[in-house]
Structure 1
Amino acid sequence: MHTPASMVMGIVFAPLGLVLVFTAAITPQWREGQARLGMTGVKGQGVGVRSGAVEALLLLRSDGLWESCVQVEHSELKQCWPVSGPYQRDPRVRLAQGLILSSLFLCGTGIVLACIGVRCWTDIPMRGVAATGGLLVVTAGLLSLTALGVYTHNLARLGINYPRFPHLILRPAGSLYFGWLGSCLQVVGGIALMFSFKRARYPTCPACPELTVCPACRSCPEITKHDTEVYEVSC
């Protein structure tokens, strides 16, 4: 069977979008910021050393939907923990969490339906099933886009409570970009699968142009009917 290009495009883009959105969901880089702290101590050793010199320490703070992290720049010191406090209780964060989980579930279900509908092991695909899967994938992409939009729009106001980092400036981080890309791929892949609702155009019968050739047996119904020999048996 020759699989339509729209089905191939959808069956490739939808899983890729799902992987990217899932990667964005589990990583803690939805927003990040830097805070410079001053530390008093002895800097250096030997002649000319000044006691009580101030050394700046740069901390990197990042938040995700389910995890937050703090890391010292240019070092392996890093600590992560589940989100808590005002950030966890913020209704916009909870909304983003629910939308992302719903998006992942719908996209996975849509991909399963699309795989069943394509049916590469038979001659005729189940176009209705594949298109329904595409509709679910599009819905999943729109849900994740909504979650990303809500989070990005309120990024600097989501549960701010950093008394130790008074000068922390937050900005979008890498996980958001993975999410945006994955959501767009889901929408594109789902729309491609939805083109499966369109009726396929089969080649016409050479002898009778108004008749279509059967896609399974590639035979002309009119010719087959006339060429069939009929035997009459009398008792």
Structure 2
Amino acid sequence: MRTPVVMILGMVLAPCGLLLTLTGTLTPGWRLVKGFLDQPVDVVLYQGLWDMCREQSSSERQCGQPDDLGYFAAEPVRVARGLMIASLAATALGLLLATVGVRCWQDEPHFALAGLSGVVLFAAGLLSLIPVSWYNHFLADRAVLPAQSSPVTVQVGYSLVLGYLGSCLLLLGGFSLALSFAPWCAERCRSCRKAPPGRARRSSISTVYIDWPEPALTPAIKYYSDGQHRPRPVQLGAASQRKAGFPMPRPPPKAYSNPVEVLDGEKAPESHHGVSSRSTRSCGSALPCDSDL
């Protein structure tokens, strides 16, 4: 049996979503802060869930910057850490279940296990989508996510975009694998229909059965319904009564026989000299002779 398309699609999208989600979780690029007054114009501060990096065009990126404003203590950052880790763990579990359920090395896949892996992957996509959306909602709120006041500007980082893409791929892959429940449910329904019925259901105490007598119908309604004449029950019984007996044998056909011999006049006695006298003797028969020709 070929692997269903929904399983193949789920097995392709789920690892891609895992890779993007892992990259977005580890990289320090959830928010870009730039426009500092006391620093050069080209200085950009990258803020992530675990680290902050300072980048300048004239120097290399420097990570491990001090958190003077309490960025890592913000509630969206702390919640995002826990949910992203939970999403990665759920994705790994879902891929393990999908590998065992799809079973590309065997003829028949395990539809129930593949569908369960789709549910787990879909939940993993939700776990990663919630913190990404929440962080993006409070991105410019300096009271929730601390940042220097204006003219410092904040922008969306590349890690947030990768988190969005990874979450969407996990949702699509999980939904595709969850469609594997359809063949499993169909098989269960067929087996339930073929199962022998159980004990007859007991009637309720309040159930009362009443045998109402049939009303007497007039002959016009009883024997002339639907505009067609129907014979009375007596006539109908007589017409439908089966005849008794068996067919008599017929005599064989007789052949016709003619009692008159048609060759009597053509027979003549032989002469003493061995010569036939058919031409000299007169024909005594009523039939024509050779001499008459």
TM-score under structure 1 normalisation? 0.72
> Which runs of no fewer than 5 residues in structure 1 stay unpaired?
40-55, 203-235
> What does the per-residue CA deviation read over 1:40-94, in whole Å, with 9 as the maximum and x for residues that have no partner?
xxxxxxxxxxxxxxxx54210110111111111x223321117745211112211
Q: Distance in 1 between matches of 2:133 and 2:66?
A: 20
Q: Distance in 2 between matches of 1:121 and 1:139?
A: 27
AA aligned opposite 1:79: Q
The number of equivalent residue pairs is 183
Flag the 1:77–1:120 CA change in 2: closer, same or farther, 3 A: closer
> What does the per-residue CA deviation read over 1:110-164, in whole Å, with 9 as the maximum and x for residues that have no partner?
01100100011111101111111110100000111101011000112344154xx
Out of 108, 118, 138, the position equivalent to 1:134 is: 118
Match of 1:224 in 2: none
AA aligned opposite 1:23: T
Q: Are positions 1:76 and 2:59 aligned together?
A: yes
Q: Distance in 2 between matches of 1:93 and 1:38?
A: 27
Does the CA-based 8 Å contact 2:54-2:65 persist in structure 1? no
AA aligned opposite 1:11: M
AA aligned opposite 2:33: G
Q: Distance in 2 between matches of 1:117 and 1:188?
A: 18
Larger radius of gyration: 2
Flag the 1:76–1:102 CA change in 2: closer, same or farther, 3 A: same
Does the CA-based 8 Å contact 1:71-1:77 persist in structure 2? yes
Match of 1:210 in 2: none
Q: Distance in 2 between matches of 1:18 and 1:107?
A: 7
Q: Distance in 2 between matches of 1:107 and 1:28?
A: 22
DSSP-derived class of the 1:62 partner: strand
Out of 81, 85, 104, the position equivalent to 1:97 is: 81
Does the CA-based 8 Å contact 1:36-1:58 persist in structure 2? no
Q: Are positions 1:26 and 2:26 aligned together?
A: yes
> Going by fraction, where is helix more abundant, 1 or 2?
1
TM-score under structure 2 normalisation? 0.58
AA aligned opposite 1:189: G
Does the CA-based 8 Å contact 2:138-2:145 persist in structure 1? no
Q: Following superposition of structure 1 onto structure 2, how do residues 114-133 of structure 1 map, counting pairs within 5 Å?
A: 114-133=98-117
Root-mean-square deviation (CA, aligned residues, Å) is 2.1
Q: Distance in 1 between matches of 2:49 and 2:89?
A: 17
What is the aligned-residue identity percentage? Answer: 37
Does the CA-based 8 Å contact 2:34-2:153 persist in structure 1? yes
Q: Distance in 2 between matches of 1:26 and 1:12?
A: 22
Report the CA distance between 1:167 and its aligned residue: 2.6
Match of 1:59 in 2: 43
Match of 1:206 in 2: none
Q: Distance in 2 between matches of 1:63 and 1:82?
A: 10
